[in-house]
């Protein structure tokens, strides 16, 4: 929608009248549902075809560390693995429940494009949904409590992403604390404390993207002897919970809450449960990505953290503006930042804002996994013209 409406003429596509374009959200959601159903069917097919797996659907609840009730059926098991995932954290803003709001779940099910939307939270989900709906044509206000969007990202990259969102029409406010919410005259509003002054923002919909907690309600963890650590399941480096015969994986444990992290956890917990080998997780190289455009991706340590730990560093920087491939595809905004140990040249972290950053980050991931150096990237031959050359230039610039 964004490319056709705002940039088609730049590529020589003529005859497109932006004023006559419209977006059918229901059709987009229906397509999304078909893709999700295809993914789910593959998972269930694999379960059904494995004779060693008995697959039960239902609400499970522990009645003891060894006994589970699944919709009234009692099952006694020697060992269990929790893979329950996460859910949106409960709203703590006064008046929000009464005003009514949606979460990321409902935001992916809407069939009518809202005229306006306030997004509360400028982390992973917040920036993705803010940009997505703004490009669809919704008037979006994005409110973040931290001084910048994606506060866990490198400052240069998150500041740049914030400016990109503003340039696309997102009304972004950082250091903005939502103090209360309500509904009035058919619309919803929030009162925000910003710079010591309260301001009122109104919109048709409120989208809350303010964190997640373990999805364990009704699971009977207390009867199982499994303790929580805050809103998450308490598990050690072997993914064993506070009960010796129960393990837990993925989002339910907190930390890096991504599908690929849960996929990494799964085999480790399974081997530990079945073979008692005591294998431990190593989260040193867990990448993450935010699927904005340009995308934001990261792995390893941040510069500020590394300096707090007393490390001597070299910093490699390269922008996409000087990339021939980025220029050709019309996506020149962005930066690659590499964190390198000054003495050993070992790559400690990589941070990318740019086109296909979610793909480019894996060159850094693979290098870091092998405790590799910036020089190994700088001296390796990269295809020209490709975006990966920007990663190579960043490695060459590390000093």
Q: Which residues are tagged catalytic?
A: 384
**d(Cα 298, Cα 152) in Å, to the nearest integer?**
10
What is the rounded CA–CA span in Å between residue 166 and residue 170? 5
User: Which distant-in-sequence residues (6+ apart) come within 8 Å of 16 by Cβ?
Assistant: 4, 5, 8, 9
Q: What are phi and psi of 326, to 5 degrees?
A: -60, -40
First to last CA, the chain: 41
Residues written for the chain: 399
Residue 346 DSSP label: B
For residue 282, the Cα-to-chain-centroid distance in whole angstroms is 20
Token pair 């995308």: residue: 295
Q: Contact at 8 Å (CB) between 156 and 243?
A: no
3-state SS, residue 221: helix
List, in order, residues 6 or more apart from 20 with CB less than 8 Å away: none
Distances (CA, A) of 10 to 13, 49, 386: 7, 51, 21
Calpha distance 268→255 (Å, rounded): 17
Asked if residues 290 and 297 have their Cβ atoms less than 8 Å apart, the reply is yes
What is the C-alpha separation between 270 and 300, in angstroms, rounded?
A: 26
* Three-state SS annotation for 115-140: CEEEEECCCHHHHHHHHHHHHHCCEE
């Amino acid at each position: 929608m964004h490319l056709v409406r705002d940039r088609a003429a730049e590529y020589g596509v003529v005859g497109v009248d932006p004023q006559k374009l419209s977006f059918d959200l229901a059709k987009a959601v229906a397509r999304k549902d078909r893709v999700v159903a295809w993914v789910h069917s593959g998972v269930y097919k694999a379960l059904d075809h494995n004779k060693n797996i008995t697959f039960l659907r239902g609400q499970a609840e522990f009645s003891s560390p060894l006994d589970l009730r699944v919709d009234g059926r009692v099952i006694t098991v020697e060992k269990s693995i929790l893979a329950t995932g996460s859910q949106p954290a409960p709203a703590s803003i006064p008046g929000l429940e009464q005003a009514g709001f949606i979460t990321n779940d409902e935001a992916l099910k809407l069939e009518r494009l809202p005229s306006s939307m306030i997004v509360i939270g400028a982390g992973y989900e917040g920036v993705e949904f803010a940009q997505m709906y703004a490009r669809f044509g919704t008037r979006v206000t994005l409110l973040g409590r931290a001084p910048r969007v994606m506060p866990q990202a490198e400052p240069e990259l998150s500041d740049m992403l914030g400016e990109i969102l503003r340039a696309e029409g997102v009304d972004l406010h950082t250091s903005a604390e939502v103090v209360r919410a309500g509904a009035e005259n058919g619309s919803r509003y929030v009162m925000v404390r910003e710079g010591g002054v309260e301001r009122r923002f109104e919109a048709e919909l409120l989208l809350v993207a303010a964190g997640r907690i373990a999805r364990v309600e009704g699971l009977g963890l207390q009867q199982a002897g499994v303790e929580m650590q805050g809103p998450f399941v308490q598990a050690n480096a072997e993914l064993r919970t506070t009960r010796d015969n129960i393990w837990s994986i993925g989002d339910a444990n907190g930390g890096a809450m991504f599908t690929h992290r849960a996929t990494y956890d799964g085999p480790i917990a399974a081997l530990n449960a079945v073979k008692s080998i005591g294998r431990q997780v190593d989260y040193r190289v867990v990448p993450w990505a935010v699927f904005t455009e340009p995308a934001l991706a990261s792995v390893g340590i941040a510069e500020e953290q590394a300096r707090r730990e007393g490390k001597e560093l070299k910093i490699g920087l390269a922008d996409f503006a000087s990339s021939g491939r980025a220029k050709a595809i019309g996506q020149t905004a962005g930066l690659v930042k590499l964190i390198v140990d000054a003495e050993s040249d070992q790559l400690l972290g990589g941070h990318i804002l740019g086109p296909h950053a979610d793909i480019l980050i894996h060159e850094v991931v693979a290098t870091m996994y092998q405790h590799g150096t910036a020089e190994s990237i700088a001296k390796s031959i990269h295809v020209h013209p490709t975006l990966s050359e920007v990663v190579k230039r960043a490695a060459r610039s590390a000093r």
